[in-house]
Amino acid sequence: MVRELLDKRSGSTANRSPMHLAEVALEGLNFGFRPYDATLKNMRRSISKLLSKEGCSEHMRIQQAEVSQLMYDLLKRPEAYYTHVEHSSLSAIFAVVFGIRCPRLESSPIPQLTGLQDDLDEFLSPGHHPPLDLLPILKHVPERWAEWTSISRDLKNRHRELYYDLFEACERRIQTDAQNGCFAEQLLLEQDKYGLTRDMVA
């Protein structure tokens, strides 16, 4: 039933209500807030291989390595259960997507990502910003009286810095023929195929 609604009938169920601050902070290129249009379709096509059954099977080796590390950490320090699980999950994601492993929870870029995500979640939560989508005139309030404008710009800059740095590392590996087969490298090599700009990739 879920697949029927979200996949087969995506044309009528996949759209999102507009959210001005999310569009500013995330430049209108986030899957969770992007309206259902040709750009979103191209972005979805570009990640379909990563999320497919076959794609998940290709990453089994990374997941097994991270789970082995998780089991070791749990045996050594069982009281830090939550921290171990968080580290294992994030390290596996960075390894699969960007080809880098994070040996500890404090290893870059985990703190940058979690800090950005926490601030973004708080900023976009209901009650933490004015109803700009209900009262569009508020979008024209000068910045000195509209703190949300500077906050959204700061989030946008942090978002760009984090992901551009990650993708630039992948580009350097491609240029030196030192690819490790991560998803970001494949995406960079095939971005023209999916009609993606550099901003859309990042």
pLDDT in tens, 73-108: 999 999 999 999 999 999 999 999 999 999 999 999
The answer to which of 24-28, 67-71, 173-177 has the lowest mean pLDDT is 24-28
What pLDDT sits at residue 77?
A: 95
- Cβ pair 44, 193 in contact under 8 A: no
Task: Say if CB 22 and CB 30 are below 8 A apart.
Answer: yes
Please write the tens of the pLDDT for every residue from 150-159: 999 999 999 9
Alpha carbons 148 and 22: distance in angstroms, whole number: 11
CATH code (residue 36): 1.10.630.10
Residue 194's domain comprises 2-201
Q: Is 196 left (phi over 0), alpha (psi -120 to 50) or beta?
A: beta
List Cβ neighbours of 119 (8 Å cut-off, separation of 6 or more).
155, 158
Instruction: For residues 100-122, give the mean pLDDT.
Output: 94
Cα-based angle 134, 136, 137 (whole degrees, multiple of 5)? 130
pLDDT confidence bin for 35, thresholds 50/70/90: confident
Instruction: Report pLDDT for 6.
Output: 59
**198, 163 contact by CB (below 8 A):** no
Question: For position 30, what pLDDT does the model report?
Answer: 87
Task: Let me know: does 33 contact 16? Beta carbons within 8 Å.
Answer: yes
Lowest mean pLDDT among 17-21, 67-71, 149-153, 183-187: 17-21
Percent of the chain whose pLDDT exceeds 70: 93
Say if residues 40 and 31 touch (Cβ distance below 8 Å): yes
Query: What domain count does the chain have?
Result: 1
